[in-house]
Structure 1
Amino acid sequence: MPDVFFTSDQHFGHKLIIDFESRPFGSVEEMDQVMIGKWNAVVGAEDTVFHLGDFSFLNLERTRDIVSDLNGYKILILGNHDRSRGRNWWLNAGFNEVSEYPLVYKDFFFLSHEPMYMNKHMPYVNVHGHIHGQRYEGNNHFNICVEHWDYTPLSFSQITDRVVVKEEG
């Protein structure tokens, strides 16, 4: 049965991110290949992946090669480094769907690139990227950036297992 996965902020082709985020790679080529391998180790051809932004710093041809190497039906929510290229550029790069705006998934998970303000009365958990190695405290945010998850997409069940849903009492 197909599964659903979430990930963000691979920054394929971005050499400086290795130093900025203390990524454990000796080169950008090694980083890109390791992340492709980790993606395909967990995501099958029939699975869906929500990518929450900042996918690639490469040109269209090289980005298309990476997208085609990755398993699954791929949905991109544009990140701050993706927006300048526009929705059609990313569709041409091979994403199956591209959203310029956050999405609500399963009536409970608010998917966005940047963390969104969530007050304690909002009925959502914000699954987001953008802040790389940082974390927000509390039950209303879940940072899906690759630095937290060994550069591997997480399944929906892996996220729900980690999210503490507060019961009204």
Structure 2
Amino acid sequence: MQKVFFISDHHFGHKHIIDFETRPFANVEEMDMYMIKSWNSVVGKEDKVFHLGDFSFLNHEKTQAIVKQLNGYKHIILGNHDRGRTRSWWLDVGFDEVSEHPIIYKDFFFLTHEPMYMNKHMPFVNVHGHIHGQKYEGKNYFNVCVEHWDYKPLTFEQIRDSVVASEEQ
């Protein structure tokens, strides 16, 4: 059975992110290899992954080589560091779908790169990236940046169950 996953902010090839976010890697090559391995440890060939932006700082050829190694059907929602490249560039490196705007998933989850304004009375959840190690308070936000999840994509069920648990508290 196909699973659906969510993740953001890999920053493949971005050596400065190691220091910016205190990532536990000696260099960018070690980081990139670990992130590919982590992705494939949970995502199967038939699964779907929503990547919520800031995927790669590498050139076309190197980004394409990474995308080819990653399991699953890959849908990217462009992040602030991705938007300098065209939709066709992202499709050509191997993404199956490219979104330039947020997506509403299962009529309840807003998938975005940057967190969006959500007042506490809204019944929706914003699944987002962009803020890396930080977290917004409240049941309306779910941060899927790699730093929070050992660089592994999360299943829809993990997110849904976490949201339900936070509402029960």
TM-score by length of 1: 0.96
CA distances 1:25-48 after superposition (whole Å, capped 9, x unpaired):
001000000000000000000000
Alignment of 1:1-169 (within 5 A): 1-164=1-164, 166=167
| Structure 1 unaligned spans of 5+ | none
Are the counterparts in 1 of residues 120 and 138 from structure 2 also a CA contact under 8 Å? Answer: no
Work out the CA distance in 1 between the residues paired with 2:89 and 2:124: 30
Q: Percent identity?
A: 73
Work out the CA distance in 2 between the residues paired with 1:145 and 1:104: 19
What is the alpha-carbon root mean square deviation over aligned residues?
A: 1.1
Q: C-alpha displacement at 1:120, in angstroms? A: 2.2
Q: C-alpha displacement at 1:121, in angstroms? A: 2.8
SS of structure 1 residue aligned to 2:84: helix
Work out the CA distance in 1 between the residues paired with 2:68 and 2:125: 30
Paired amino acid for 2:16: L
TM-score by length of 2: 0.96
- 4+ residue runs of structure 1 moved beyond 6 angstroms? none
CA distances 1:71-130 after superposition (whole Å, capped 9, x unpaired):
000000000000011211111111000000000001111000000001123221000000
How many residue pairs align between the two structures? 167
| Structure 2 unaligned spans of 5+ | none
